[in-house]
Amino acid sequence: MIFDTSIWVGLASGQMASEAVLRAAGDEQVYISAISLGELSFGVESCSDPATRMLRMRSLRSFEQRPVLDVSSLTASAFGILAAFMKQSGRSPRTRVKDIWIAAQALENDYALLTVNLKDFEGLPGLRVSCP
């Protein structure tokens, strides 16, 4: 199972109970996307409050210990298919680029995707999405 960035942010901020996330993942191996690591790193680097920045950095270092899914040429192919599907469905893929990359990784590896933003992934073909 791959966690969307929204799950990692929820865990880091304490807005999401780790028990609920663990229950949703069940026995599945949990992965973090290299895309999510980039988003989380941006959150650290753009934070001006030293205390918050330190907390975010600790969370990021902890999350980096999870198995990481890198972007491959197969991911890129799946991304193209998903982005085109969104456009053909009348939705702009431009505002959801990072989400589409993460969805492409889930499809490439046949993993379910856990997110709190179900609408971001709504209707993407072949994608198994759930919410804790």
Give residue 83's identity as a one-letter amino acid code: A
Q: Comparing C-alpha atoms, which of 14, 82, 4 is closest to residue 39? A: 4
Rounded CA-CA distance 60/74 in Å is 26
Residue range(s) defining the domain that contains residue 8: 2-130
pTM over 0.85: yes
DSSP 3-state of 51: helix
- Contact status, residue 95 vs residue 120, Cβ threshold 8 Å: no
Per residue of the chain (132 residues), give pLDDT as tens: 999 999 999 999 999 998 999 899 999 999 999 999 999 999 999 999 999 999 999 999 999 999 999 999 999 999 999 999 999 999 888 888 999 999 999 999 999 999 999 988 988 999 999 999
> Domain holding 54: CATH number?
3.40.50.1010
Paired strand residues for 68: 32
In the chain, how many domains are there? 1
